[in-house]
């Protein structure tokens, strides 16, 4: 089924335990700071029911319509549609958090592998859960990052306590008991359920930490601590002051505490198979980086546009050094877009299990490029926009009839452009260049170090080394399938 | 005289017209968002009266103590003391805004030049003002940046109106009438008076814009529009959430509108000498960039320290790639410190007028290095600190006894470090890496482009070109005083 | 027809006037420094006759086989094959200079446009030339860059003489007389004929410089001045010392002087249509940057491989900071490869003339990325390889039986790797990181500034601005075809 | 004594075993490729005897004149004179290799420390050697870098043989026997003697590698393998083609093999004290990086000048984006100059042994800045100069009367500048931007990694951390001597 927005909203009144900025919130649908996140999600249900977008977002199955994201990707086409769906929903203001579907896809890949290799039956549990998703259409998210404690110490060796990574503390007949906390989990207040996965490789001694499961967010023992929003304004004032973040309400990350939560076996998709923890973390990583790059396709387009507009409004769009900076922003946007799309066009296929994932190298490059250059993007936007990014006036200043005429007169830019338009673009740049976006760009979907590791691990070193070995006449280049058909280097000279 | 902090605070109840976030403020000493800026300044009066710091901040003159900053710099020693004074006051929490004293010093240099070259008597007016400063000890600031309108059009050619740059609209017997607006003027709410100077070079048709003057901030026609603070918290909560900005209250920039303000002739230090507008802008620039680098000596020290602490608290301080990033921050801090100090040790002397200014090249390099690398600094701090910079909890979360045990347990880092210490360092990095500091670092004391222009204009091209010409045997290198004593290149070979 | 390598070599004994390093060369097929360039080209004829590669390099037309590159590209498939052909020939050691075919393709696009717009008949002349190419199979190159004189002065306004850009000095009944000089023209010694085009936009007063034509290189008045090779060695010694450049002989650029050369009308493809000069320069630019990126696909693969090998041979391939640098090289290679391929997959179509060219934005990004990062590539290779890149021994040292045992013992790296292999990879990196490649990477196929201009000019600003305007509620975003179907921002909130 | 240039040259005919490019050289003073290096050194003897420079280069001692560099530095003044001496000699074409004197200074510091701590008597041996230097005035160099084998394995654990690092193989009554090889040792062909030191820290099992000693280069068992020069030209042709390197002959690095060489005890300055190996490597490092920065003061001045000249000759010096790049080069030059000078003005004093060394942090920053940015410097020079850096003609082309008129006409730049001047500046940039300088800039005086490690190790973390702790109210900041006098943060607010 596909729920209506109203059904979705109603479902959030479920008794969950949730805190925000020092306050326990009895009903999140009534809290002004939660409204943005809920509306962002509700809109996705509206779109799924909208004849104009329904065929993109949902699919027909057994005489029912279900979310396309419940499908386990098998082809390049599946991945391209997934990407298109994410981008379109973002542009339409109806977020479908990638966290949940990406965790589902990763769990699907790894369950198939474990079952094939170890003879387990996790795919059955997962299919059971998939059926539940199709029948009940809950909003789901995914949790990966643990709170970690001392980063240089493995989970089971932590000194203060053993709960810095989520772990199984008891295996019972009907299910398991889990304990620990996950941090920075996006889109949690607006979700009904969550899929939880490990964020790192494990050794045997850490096998209790090798656990993947799904649970409702109002399950007993689950506690949500929402990260505070970076602004206080609401409604029209929020939108004027923060044109990008003002609708969805800034970040909606939670720390999720699992205080001995019971999970039945049909919601457990890994339990103790520590050799596969790295696999689940990496597979989630590549699916979720695909999601992240969708976000950045939208973001970089807006950044290039905002910078181009303010250059025009400030009257500096004809200067070569400004055009050079704008060209950088355009190139940045197109590289991310093209590399991420190429990741779906040329996916990594896993023929033994009949599944596919976004190309590891291309997708990590796309994600790395935006993460690594986000501060440069901010710097360029600020450099072009001017000091006003720091000192620009607010909605309340603008609405005050005593102040407005002065602001209107003196903060005008190029003739013919309303001062308010100039102020809004400045506010947009202020919003986009602050650490709300900068820090998240680096750490969202994994740190810079994580992408570098993935790139190094996934790069085609055999091909590169063969290219160099052939030129140097060093044995071994024939082993590369890209080079084996070529003649040795250099070719026999024709003219002696 | 040196006023007491109390006298200073009392002097701010002067009927000034001032707005903040849509509100007109009748008495700024009563407004919670203004308290920080006022205390920051009041503390400087306390320090000037404190036997421990008095000899640094003030000087004895005609049996009176007066601020050292009223002295026109003449020697390297004057400049090094100026620098020491700025840095020490910042570290002690008693800001003495550089804007005013730097505008005073620049006006002093250019008045001497105009008088010498044009036979004017601006130095007399300036000395009269200096006497007033010494006798009454007002808190002063300086205004340079105009609101500018279309940046590609000169002041008198602007299309919408002629007031995008401050200008003289009437010359009367007793004084002049000025109109226009200045933007991003720091430390204005806490100042009593202001020195206003042009921010660019002029041609003859812009000569009405070539005007330097001083005026009280409560003069008729002056209106202050304060840029909104980026946070709402006050007192202890502000300090916990924003460890760096929480005391002084974030930015305190104003747009200052001059709505036909009268200025008597003994407060006018330039009026129509358009050929000297560039000179005043550049001289103010180099003095104020010295001030800016003092700020950054403090800031970069804190940034390197915060990053080093969080690396330790996260348990990652032994990793080479983290140490490499920390080494970058240390090098960054020391380059700025050393280049700025060298700017005072080797100043530009103007023997014809007996005055000195910080070395143009060294000072601009120091300012450029921090401005250009501020976003890199933020990126490194965020990279080391982790995603928590985006999602960290607030003072109110920490103080809620239901939340605190969970936060305390799960956000602990390295064993032995209180969780609260870790949170505070994260909050410090959040504060320092947001656009509150990032954008200001670029545009405070002039844009990147301004420093590049100054560097190009001030660099010793004669020396550099001589170095290259000598090697290539191209005529002309003997004209450089650095090279004229050297033999032609290459020396006659001894072994033939 | 497709000539044999022997026919090709014979054809170069054509009486051309050519100089190298101060020497006039009577027969280039006999000069040891010319052998590499000739063999590189001869090999391409061998490949065109080789059943294994014939179907890639040639096409069947009217019962004859002709070079595929004589075809005017019309589809994505044409462009992808062109790219594949270039890359494969480079890897097989048989260069087909892109200069000629790219100039031909650009002339084809612009001739069609001129004919359509101005009623000229340049396409006829071009087809006549194309027929000649198919029938006689000459080796062609293309000349674009003029010698330029003072870069800030337009062609006809140059002070010293009027010949800094190639121009028509006489229009006669049978043809035109051209004068001037072209610089840095690659692959000239090994070519039979050349297509000459302007390198910049023109105004009406420069219309004599708006000239495109083809001429044999042994025509009366043509004089070739070859740029000296950067090394002296030949044969086996050259290959050992310079593993990459040692085969094809380093650069083979010429300055080509046109000393009043006669060109018949059926070889003139533009003459005076100054409004189209910019078009020819840009169209050549994008075709030739496609060629350049093919070269760089080969180069960056080798660079990543050489760095990976030397890391292994030096025993440092397990260090994270080395892996991070290797990951950068891999990402660099894949970005160039993917962006350039995307330029063929998504070409710019010109429906009015039925032709296609590589996507301007993607292709310029690919070329810009390698040009802008070439010095970084070199830096990384040198950083990993060590100081030996500067001080490595030569073929002659290695072959000297007194020296070899010492070199063999002491310059060994990781156990199990022959010292000679390590030396060869070091020599490969020395070859690839020197300015032979560094400077060319920047300026080959146009300067960095040229790509930035192309990027700025070609970027989809309408889309970017619409993205920003929609978010800020600024009128005009509906005009973008990408955004017109979307609802205004933000969507109506569902939960009020 | 101070020898004459002639005595110096004569002393090189000493029977040394030396190879170059596959050839054994019986008398280096007769080999054309060795002349440059010898003349460069001979000139320093001429300068030491020249009344104009004698007082800088030499000092009076016991009625004799001796080289100032034999003095063990004790004060800032000593270090500033050392720096001045190095820079001046370089500019005058009389190199005094820093390798030897820097190794001497480092040995002096560490000998004093060992003697104090372990009761050894190495200072006596060193003073004996110093007396020999003063009496006989040999040209000395220093050897630090070992050939290293597998970089990830310690000296005594190497797999192929134990000689990848120089070590003591026998301790005899009169002296020691040493074996191994040192690589990249600059200025060796022109030196008489050498001081050899370890290049890394050692553990106890490596104690045979902890050895410092001096030996003549013609001692039995010493074999020199010179790295080949990168060009073949000599005399006038060399100077025209390579304006910077053409005089001194490019690099003159040697691999020095110690094939069981005997060293008497009075030339042994460390033997087995493995705990001090790190100290000798680091102390040599900082002294030699001071030397390296002197070189770069000269180099960066020339680079900025060459770029400025070619911008002018190409007619592009008025474009803002060119001026921006030139400003970068000027800033780069001044940062290196100022940081390196500050390293002598504020040295590290060792009061317990009465000695001084250049400031570790400042000196490493200066060296790091040039090494890290050398490729950027090259990129900027090439970007401004144009493609001609790759394709420029040679001395022989220019001297050929048939070619010259064409080159003269067509390669002219700005009117009024002789074409030859333009060509020479292009050749200068070609020389300076090739890997002859690029790779050496990175690895000369230690790799980038070495400087980063030194920076991290030497940075004032106590001060930085105190700065951050004070702001966060975290205990411990009072322990920093820079902060202990300051009040807690924030100060008590005056206005409550």
Q: Which two tokens stand for residue A255?
A: 């720390």
Chain B residue numbers touching A389 (CB-CB < 8 A):
435, 439, 443
CB A355 within 8 A of CB A74: yes
D19/C153 touch (CB, cutoff 8 Å), yes or no: no
Determine the Cα–Cα distance for residues B369 and B451; give it in Å rounded to an integer: 10
Question: Does the pLDDT of residue D248 top 90, yes or no?
Answer: no
Question: Does the pLDDT of residue D52 top 70, yes or no?
Answer: yes
Tell me how many residue pairs between chain C and chain D have CB atoms under 8 A apart. Answer: 248
Closest partner CB to D334 (pick from B361, B471, B473): B361
The confidence band for D432, taking pLDDT boundaries of 50, 70 and 90, is very high
Residue with tokens 């040790």: B345
**β strands within A91-203, DSSP E:** 140-143, 167-171, 175-185, 193-196
Question: Does the pLDDT of residue A250 top 70, yes or no?
Answer: no
Determine the Cα–Cα distance for residues D8 and D137; give it in Å rounded to an integer: 9
Least reliable range by pLDDT among A143-152, C209-218, D462-471: D462-471
Inter-residue long-range contacts of D214-217, CB under 8 Å, 24+ positions, other chains counted: D214/D129, D214/D140, D214/D263, D214/D267, D214/D269, D215/D261, D215/D263, D215/D267, D216/D14, D216/D138, D216/D192, D217/D14, D217/D16, D217/D188, D217/D191, D217/D192, D217/D193, D217/D256
Determine the Cα–Cα distance for residues A442 and A371; give it in Å rounded to an integer: 5
Cα B344–B347–B348 angle (5° rounding)? 155
What mean pLDDT is reported for chain B? 93
CB C372 within 8 A of CB C448: yes
Chain C residue numbers touching B324 (CB-CB < 8 A):
321
Question: Does the pLDDT of residue A453 top 90, yes or no?
Answer: no
What mean pLDDT is reported for chain D? 93
Determine the Cα–Cα distance for residues C111 and B153; give it in Å rounded to an integer: 41
The confidence band for B251, taking pLDDT boundaries of 50, 70 and 90, is low
Looking at chain C, the whole-number percentage of residues with pLDDT higher than 90 is: 81
Chain C residue numbers touching D321 (CB-CB < 8 A):
449
CB atoms near residue B275 (< 10 Å): 16
Chain D residue numbers touching B49 (CB-CB < 8 A):
none
Least reliable range by pLDDT among A370-379, A436-445, C312-321, D198-207: A436-445
CB D428 within 8 A of CB D306: yes
User: B1, B194, B224: which is closest to B102 by C-alpha?
Assistant: B194
Question: Does the pLDDT of residue C251 top 70, yes or no?
Answer: no
pLDDT digits (tens, 9 = 90+) for B396-419: 999 999 999 999 999 999 999 999
A305/C465 touch (CB, cutoff 8 Å), yes or no: yes
A305/C459 touch (CB, cutoff 8 Å), yes or no: no
* Residue-level pLDDT at A133: 97
Question: Does the pLDDT of residue B447 top 90, yes or no?
Answer: no
CB A165 within 8 A of CB A180: yes
Question: Does the pLDDT of residue B377 top 90, yes or no?
Answer: yes
More confident site: A56 or B250: A56
| C-alpha dihedral sign at D151, D155, D157, D160 | positive
Chain D residue numbers touching A320 (CB-CB < 8 A):
319-321
The confidence band for A435, taking pLDDT boundaries of 50, 70 and 90, is low
The confidence band for D145, taking pLDDT boundaries of 50, 70 and 90, is very high
Determine the Cα–Cα distance for residues B253 and A10; give it in Å rounded to an integer: 46
Question: Does the pLDDT of residue B442 top 90, yes or no?
Answer: no
B-chain residue closest to C323, CA distance: B321
Interface test with chain C among D228, D410, D415, by most C beta carbons within 10 Å: D410
Determine the Cα–Cα distance for residues D427 and C228; give it in Å rounded to an integer: 12
Determine the Cα–Cα distance for residues B332 and D8; give it in Å rounded to an integer: 45
Over residues C244-267, mean pLDDT: 89
The DSSP bridge partners found for residue C262 are: C177
Which residues have C-beta within 8 Å of that of residue A422, sequence separation ≥ 6? A310, A313, A314, A411, A412, A413
CB B262 within 8 A of CB B177: yes
pLDDT digits (tens, 9 = 90+) for D280-336: 999 999 999 999 999 999 999 999 999 999 999 999 999 988 999 999 999 999 999
The DSSP bridge partners found for residue D459 are: none
Determine the Cα–Cα distance for residues D296 and A297; give it in Å rounded to an integer: 44
Residue with tokens 């000095």: C169
Closest partner CB to B494 (pick from D46, D428, D489): D46
Determine the Cα–Cα distance for residues A301 and C465; give it in Å rounded to an integer: 8
* Residue-level pLDDT at B454: 82
CB D213 within 8 A of CB D269: yes
Determine the Cα–Cα distance for residues A85 and A297; give it in Å rounded to an integer: 13
Q: Which two tokens stand for residue B97?
A: 């805004």
* Residue-level pLDDT at D389: 92
User: D306, D370, D312, D307: which is closest to D337 by C-alpha?
Assistant: D370
Rg of chain A in Å (alpha carbons): 25
pLDDT digits (tens, 9 = 90+) for B145-171: 999 999 999 999 999 999 999 999 999
Residue with tokens 């979907």: A445
DSSP state of D446: S
Give burial (CB, 10 Å; 0-12/13-18/19+) of C481: exposed
Over residues B256-283, mean pLDDT: 97
Give burial (CB, 10 Å; 0-12/13-18/19+) of B321: middle
pLDDT digits (tens, 9 = 90+) for B21-30: 999 999 999 9
Q: What pTM does this model have?
A: 0.94
Determine the Cα–Cα distance for residues C8 and D77; give it in Å rounded to an integer: 71
Question: Does the pLDDT of residue C164 top 70, yes or no?
Answer: yes
Question: Does the pLDDT of residue D422 top 70, yes or no?
Answer: yes
- Cis peptide, bond prior to residue C490, ω within 30 of zero: yes
* Residue-level pLDDT at D250: 60
Q: For strand B348-350 and strand B222-226, is the pairing parallel, antiparallel, or unpaired?
A: unpaired
The DSSP bridge partners found for residue D168 are: D178
Question: Does the pLDDT of residue A65 top 80, yes or no?
Answer: yes
* Residue-level pLDDT at D42: 94
Determine the Cα–Cα distance for residues D106 and D122; give it in Å rounded to an integer: 13
Question: What CA–CA distances, in Å, run from A416 to A393, B174, D73?
Answer: 21, 39, 69
User: A461, A476, A368: which is closest to C311 by C-alpha?
Assistant: A461
Determine the Cα–Cα distance for residues A443 and A449; give it in Å rounded to an integer: 10
Neighbouring subunits of C (3+ Cβ pairs under 8 A): A, B, D
Cα B245–B246–B251 angle (5° rounding)? 45
Over residues C331-340, mean pLDDT: 95
Inter-residue long-range contacts of C345-353, CB under 8 Å, 24+ positions, other chains counted: C345/C76, C345/C80, C346/C76, C347/C73, C347/C75, C347/C76, C347/C79, C348/C286, C350/C109, C350/C113, C352/C116, C353/C109, C353/C112, C353/C113, C353/C116
The confidence band for A437, taking pLDDT boundaries of 50, 70 and 90, is confident
* Residue-level pLDDT at A495: 86
* Residue-level pLDDT at C435: 65
Question: What CA–CA distances, in Å, run from C290 to C55, C80, C90, D26?
Answer: 21, 10, 14, 54
* Number of alpha carbons in the 13 Å side-chain half-sphere of residue A32: 9
**β strands within B307-430, DSSP E:** 348-350, 355-357
* Residue-level pLDDT at A95: 80
* Residue-level pLDDT at D470: 86
Rg of chain B in Å (alpha carbons): 25
Over residues A314-341, mean pLDDT: 94
Q: Which two tokens stand for residue D212?
A: 């410092």
CB atoms near residue B171 (< 10 Å): 13
D-chain residue closest to A320, CA distance: D321
pLDDT digits (tens, 9 = 90+) for A191-246: 999 999 999 999 999 999 999 999 999 999 999 999 998 888 988 999 999 998 88
More confident site: B211 or A477: B211
Length of chain C: 496
A164/B449 touch (CB, cutoff 8 Å), yes or no: no
A330/C35 touch (CB, cutoff 8 Å), yes or no: no
Looking only at Cα atoms, what is the longest distance across chain B? Answer: 89
What mean pLDDT is reported for chain A? 93
User: B55, B49, B9, B51: which is closest to B30 by C-alpha?
Assistant: B9
Question: What CA–CA distances, in Å, run from B80 to A163, B355, D423?
Answer: 54, 14, 46
D-chain residue closest to B475, CA distance: D421
Q: Helix (H, G, I), strand (E, B), or coil: what is residue C494? A: coil
Determine the Cα–Cα distance for residues C194 and A11; give it in Å rounded to an integer: 74
Q: Which two tokens stand for residue B207?
A: 């000569």
The confidence band for B250, taking pLDDT boundaries of 50, 70 and 90, is low
Determine the Cα–Cα distance for residues C117 and C111; give it in Å rounded to an integer: 10
CB atoms near residue A24 (< 10 Å): 11
Q: Which two tokens stand for residue C414?
A: 């990781």
DSSP state of C223: E
Chain A residue numbers touching C333 (CB-CB < 8 A):
464
> What are chain A's domains?
5-279 (2.40.110.10), 285-458 (1.20.140.10)
Cα B222–B224–B229 angle (5° rounding)? 170
Q: Helix (H, G, I), strand (E, B), or coil: what is residue A24? A: strand
Q: Which two tokens stand for residue D165?
A: 């690092």
Over residues D419-447, mean pLDDT: 86
Residue with tokens 């090249």: B361
Neighbouring subunits of B (3+ Cβ pairs under 8 A): A, C, D
A394/B228 touch (CB, cutoff 8 Å), yes or no: yes
Over residues D42-67, mean pLDDT: 95
Determine the Cα–Cα distance for residues C114 and D61; give it in Å rounded to an integer: 86
User: A107, A117, A55, A61: which is closest to A352 by C-alpha?
Assistant: A117
What mean pLDDT is reported for chain C? 93
* Residue-level pLDDT at B452: 83
pLDDT digits (tens, 9 = 90+) for A305-315: 999 999 999 99
């Amino acid at each position: 089924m596909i729920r209506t927005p109203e059904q979705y909203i109603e479902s959030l009144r479920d008794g969950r335990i949730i805190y925000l900025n020092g306050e326990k919130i009895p009903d999140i649908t009534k809290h002004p700071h939660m409204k943005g996140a809920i509306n962002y999600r509700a809109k996705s249900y509206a779109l799924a029911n909208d004849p104009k977008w329904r065929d993109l977002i949902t699919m027909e199955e057994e005489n029912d319509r279900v979310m396309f994201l419940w499908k386990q990707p098998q082809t390049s086409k599946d991945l391209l549609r997934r990407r298109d769906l994410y981008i379109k929903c973002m542009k339409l203001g109806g977020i479908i958090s990638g966290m949940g579907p990406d965790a589902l896809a990763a769990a699907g890949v790894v369950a198939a592998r474990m079952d094939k290799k170890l003879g387990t039956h996790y795919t059955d549990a997962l299919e059971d859960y998939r059926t539940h998703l199709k029948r009940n259409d809950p909003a789901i998210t995914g949790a990966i990052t643990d709170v970690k404690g001392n980063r240089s110490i493995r989970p089971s060796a932590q000194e203060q306590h053993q709960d810095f990574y989520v772990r199984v503390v008891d295996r019972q007949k009907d299910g398991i008991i889990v304990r620990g906390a996950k941090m920075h989990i996006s889109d949690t207040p607006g979700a009904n359920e969550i899929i939880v996965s490990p964020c790192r490789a494990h050794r045997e001694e850490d096998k209790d930490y090798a656990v993947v499961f799904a649970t409702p967010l109002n399950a007993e023992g689950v506690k949500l601590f929402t990260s505070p929003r970076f602004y206080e304004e609401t409604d029209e004032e929020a939108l004027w002051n923060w044109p990008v973040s003002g609708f969805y309400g800034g970040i909606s990350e939670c720390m999720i505490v699992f205080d001995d939560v019971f999970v039945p076996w049909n919601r457990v998709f890994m339990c103790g198979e520590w050799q596969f923890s790295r696999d689940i973390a990496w597979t989630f990583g590549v699916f979720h980086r695909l999601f992240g790059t969708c976000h950045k396709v939208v973001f970089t387009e807006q950044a290039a546009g905002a910078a181009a507009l303010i250059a025009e409004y400030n009257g500096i769009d004809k200067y070569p050094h400004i055009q050079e900076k704008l060209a950088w922003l355009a190139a940045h946007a197109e590289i991310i877009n093209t590399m991420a799309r190429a990741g779906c066009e040329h996916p990594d296929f896993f023929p033994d299990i009949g599944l596919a994932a976004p190309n590891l190298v291309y997708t990590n490059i796309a994600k790395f490029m935006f993460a690594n250059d986000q501060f440069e993007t901010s710097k360029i936007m600020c450099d072009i926009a001017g000091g006003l990014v720091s000192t620009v006036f607010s909605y309340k200043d603008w609405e005050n009839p005593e102040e407005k005429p002065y602001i209107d007169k003196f903060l005008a830019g190029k003739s013919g452009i309303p001062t308010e338009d100039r102020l809004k673009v400045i506010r947009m740049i202020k919003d986009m260049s602050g650490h709300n976006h900068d820090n998240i760009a680096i750490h969202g979907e994994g740190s810079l170090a994580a992408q570098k590791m993935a790139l190094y691990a996934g790069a085609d070193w055999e091909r590169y080394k063969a290219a160099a070995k052939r030129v140097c006449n060093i044995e071994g280049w024939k082993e590369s399938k890209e080079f084996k058909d070529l003649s040795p280097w250099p070719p026999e000279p024709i003219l002696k």
